[in-house]
């Protein structure tokens, strides 16, 4: 199935049927991509824990997985590569750099613990998924940039059954607010659930009540 981005509607359209991609389906695609990246991270954890990969090779592969997933998530949120600006690529680089800094060789950081052999396979895999899940922030920030200045002038934090910490619940209780005023985005690591956050931000047209991607 081939999708094209409709600039006027701010949404993806199926080239064959003409139907829009719903945000529910977009969130499914987000989850599928994150799970695939997580599976790749699990394999890296097995190779590292089993002595079949050096710490430096593991670190390089981790950097590649983080970079690839952040780019995929941001592109989906922004409307494809054609919509990307220099500012967008700067945002992508910022998200990636943040995760690289957490990963880099420093006392007590992830890589140094892996290099020293202090983490078992299961713990390496668990932490790896948290790093990769940070790509969700890239998608949410791209979606915000995509809709800023459109008819969708309000936003709301929406919790899910997967992970709803007290911080996320408090953000959801704010209800509909002006677009861009929520203090953080899901996946940014600013809530108690850190990058495990599975919440999302919904957008609404304040004039007619239409919710972005949920009007069909």
Question: What φ, ψ does residue 207 adopt, rounded to 5°?
Answer: -80, -40
How far apart, in whole angstroms, are the C-alpha atoms of residue 37 and residue 66? 8
The whole-number pLDDT of residue 216 equals: 45
The whole-number pLDDT of residue 126 equals: 92
The whole-number pLDDT of residue 2 equals: 78
> Which range is least confidently modeled, 37-46, 97-106, 125-134, 141-150?
97-106
74, 130, 160, 183 from 85: Cα distances, Å: 12, 28, 31, 24
Length of the chain: 216
Question: What φ, ψ does residue 135 adopt, rounded to 5°?
Answer: -65, -20
């Amino acid at each position: 199935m081939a999708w094209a981005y409709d600039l006027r509607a701010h949404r993806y359209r199926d080239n064959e049927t003409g139907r829009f991609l719903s945000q529910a389906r977009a969130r499914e695609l987000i989850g599928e991509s994150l799970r695939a990246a997580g599976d790749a991270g699990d394999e890296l954890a097995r190779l590292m824990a089993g002595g079949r990969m050096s710490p430096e090779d593991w670190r390089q592969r981790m950097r590649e997985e983080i970079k690839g997933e952040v780019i995929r998530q941001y592109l989906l949120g922004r409307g494809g590569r054609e919509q990307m600006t220099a500012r967008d690529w700067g945002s992508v680089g910022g998200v990636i750099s943040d995760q690289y800094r957490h990963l880099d060789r420093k006392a007590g950081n992830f890589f140094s613990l892996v290099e020293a052999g202090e983490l078992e396979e299961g713990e390496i895999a668990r932490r790896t998924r948290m790093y990769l899940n940070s790509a969700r922030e890239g998608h949410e920030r791209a979606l915000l940039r995509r809709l800023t200045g459109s008819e969708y002038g309000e936003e709301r934090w929406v919790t899910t059954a997967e992970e709803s910490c007290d911080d996320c619940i408090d953000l959801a209780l704010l209800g509909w607010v002006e677009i861009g005023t929520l203090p953080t985005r899901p996946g940014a690591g600013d809530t108690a659930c850190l990058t495990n956050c599975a919440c999302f931000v919904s957008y609404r047209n304040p004039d007619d009540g239409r919710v972005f991607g949920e009007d069909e």
